[in-house]
Structure 1
């Protein structure tokens, strides 16, 4: 029996995730960071933001409490709906309050420069 492969999430920022991005494809495994702007307990849909960019995150498979205004990191697969709306189906989520987001973004840029 074949064991399903779970890909690591590609490190991207929310502003990088747009329809012209190579990561903007159905099933792409992503790791994103954003501030929780809104959350619906009924639907388990969270909206995270980074600057002007936002992303819906389905948190139904996570066992965690979410607080609006806190900083979170999610890893999961991107689902693209017919209307070109993207929702991340999160398989991992964690609160990262206290992380220096500016330093995180700088280190991410350095890492991408090294990998590319």
Structure 2
């Protein structure tokens, strides 16, 4: 049964061309701080540490993007010929107040649990 895939939680640092997560159409969930936002193009740039990613927000409604706010997005990864990635967001939410270091630790624990308990 085909349909919309759930967004795999990833950190921005994991979205490198050599990563298995870096593929066209991958359904991902990313979290980062809004570095900039253009109303004209509906493109937000989110950062987490030294990593950044562009987010196409054209399909999102009723969200106010403020520089410095932390947002979480779910969408599909689009990869341009120059290996620049853009997430075509279908869901977005403000998560101001989240501790990103604790969030990263929880992702590691989730992956460890899945590796130990889920056999494909």
TM-score tier by shorter-chain length is: over 0.9
Q: Does 1:47 align with 2:64?
A: no
In the aligned structure 2, how far is the partner of 1:39 from the partner of 1:48?
Answer: 9
Structure 1 length-normalised TM: 0.95
2:32 to 7, 31, 34: 34
Structure 2 length-normalised TM: 0.92
User: Moved runs in structure 1, 4+ residues, more than 6 A?
Assistant: none
In the aligned structure 1, how far is the partner of 2:114 from the partner of 2:18?
Answer: 21
Match of 1:8 in 2: 6
In the aligned structure 1, how far is the partner of 2:58 from the partner of 2:35?
Answer: 17
**Post-superposition shift, 1:23?**
0.9
In the aligned structure 1, how far is the partner of 2:22 from the partner of 2:52?
Answer: 14
Deviations along 1:54-110, one digit per CA (max 9) or x if unpaired, are: 000000000111101000000000000111110000000000001121111111110
Match of 2:70 in 1: 71
Please list every run of 5 or more consecutive structure 2 residues that lacks an aligned counterpart in the other structure.
Answer: 116-120
In the aligned structure 2, how far is the partner of 1:75 from the partner of 1:89?
Answer: 8
In the aligned structure 2, how far is the partner of 1:4 from the partner of 1:39?
Answer: 33
Match of 1:109 in 2: 108
In the aligned structure 1, how far is the partner of 2:82 from the partner of 2:106?
Answer: 34
When the two chains are superposed, the root-mean-square deviation of aligned CA atoms in Å is 1.0
Please list every run of 5 or more consecutive structure 1 residues that lacks an aligned counterpart in the other structure.
Answer: none
In the aligned structure 2, how far is the partner of 1:47 from the partner of 1:113?
Answer: 30
